Chains A and B, each alone.
Chain A
Amino acid sequence: ILNVEQSPQSLHVQEGDSTNFTCSFPSSNFYALHWYRWETAKSPEALFVMTLNGDEKKKGRISATLNTKEGYSYLYIKGSQPEDSATYLCACYSGAGSYQLTFGKGTKLSVIP
């Protein structure tokens, strides 16, 4: 079973602050990484699917980078808004041809107005 770790477990930021958090995964046999956003009482929604070392993806104020050689991905939120409050999950496949996604435990973000 793949070990996917996310840090921090939770954080509180003021509205307007920028923030970032980390997803760490084994660098050997990397295939792809997903980021999901999970709002309370809703279902996880996909943000990004990333496959290549050096990948950078952006959706509005949220962006992500991927370093497959050292086994980490960063998710950045610029100018946090209260509606960004959610748990952010990352998930990895255990290798090319694997159909099993292993999720990290998530980072819970609270944006204080």
Chain B
Amino acid sequence: NAGVTQTPKFQVLKTGQSMTLQCAQDMNHEYMSWYRQDPGMGLRLIHYSVGAGITDQGEVPNGYNVSRSTTEDFPLRLLSAAPSQTSVYFCASSYFSGRPVEQFFGPGTRLTVL
């Protein structure tokens, strides 16, 4: 199993550009989520999904869109990048069985917005 994969590993954007951060998992996990990690802030939830076709907002959703058309993939879209979105982005997944279980994290994408 590859686990949770994220692409790209690094990305530099100019203000106003758009891009999609890719996340895929091969563990048949229903639950997937996106976090951003900023110095001194810890991990903050952006969006999450409990299954294909179902998404919801987390703590810091503004400026980001998500969709979940398949169980495996959960892309994160930045429609018009801003310097405040410079961060490290982590995707995570887990089973969704009605009881809390550990999350598996991807390797992260380091994004810089100039």
With A93-B100, A100-B58 as contacts: A105 and B42 at CB distance below 8 Å: yes
Residues of chain A contacted by B99 (CB below 8 angstroms): 51
Determine the distance from Cα of A1 to Cα of B43 in the docked complex, in whole angstroms: 13
Contact residues on B (Cβ < 8 Å of other chain), bracket: 20 to 34
Q: Are B105 and A105 in contact (CB under 8 A)?
A: no
With A34-B100, A93-B100, A99-B50 as contacts: A104 and B105 at CB distance below 8 Å: no
A62 in contact (CB, < 8 A): no
A29 in contact (CB, < 8 A): no
B residues at A contact (CB < 8 Å): 4, 31, 33, 35, 40-45, 48, 50, 56, 58-59, 90, 96, 99-108
Question: Considering only CB atoms, which chain A residue lies closest to B6 in the complex?
Answer: A43
Residues of chain B contacted by A31 (CB below 8 angstroms): 100
* Distance between B108 CB and nearest chain A CB, rounded to angstroms: 6
Ranked nearest first, the 7 interchain pairs of A and B with the lowest CB-CB distance are A46-B102, A32-B100, A43-B105, A105-B42, A103-B43, A103-B42, A44-B105
Contact residues on A (Cβ < 8 Å of other chain), bracket: 20 to 34
- Could you list 14 examples of A-B contacts with CB < 8 Å? A1-B59, A34-B103, A42-B107, A43-B90, A43-B105, A43-B108, A46-B102, A49-B100, A51-B99, A91-B43, A103-B42, A103-B44, A105-B40, A105-B42
A89 in contact (CB, < 8 A): yes
Q: Which of B40, B102, B108 contacts A34 (CB 8 A)?
A: B102
Residues of chain B contacted by A42 (CB below 8 angstroms): 107
Q: Are A104 and B42 in contact (CB under 8 A)?
A: yes
Residues of chain B contacted by A32 (CB below 8 angstroms): 100
**Beyond A99-B31, A99-B96, A106-B42, 15 additional pairs, beta carbon < 8 A:** A34-B102, A42-B107, A43-B107, A49-B102, A51-B100, A99-B50, A100-B48, A100-B58, A100-B59, A102-B59, A103-B35, A103-B43, A103-B44, A105-B41, A105-B42
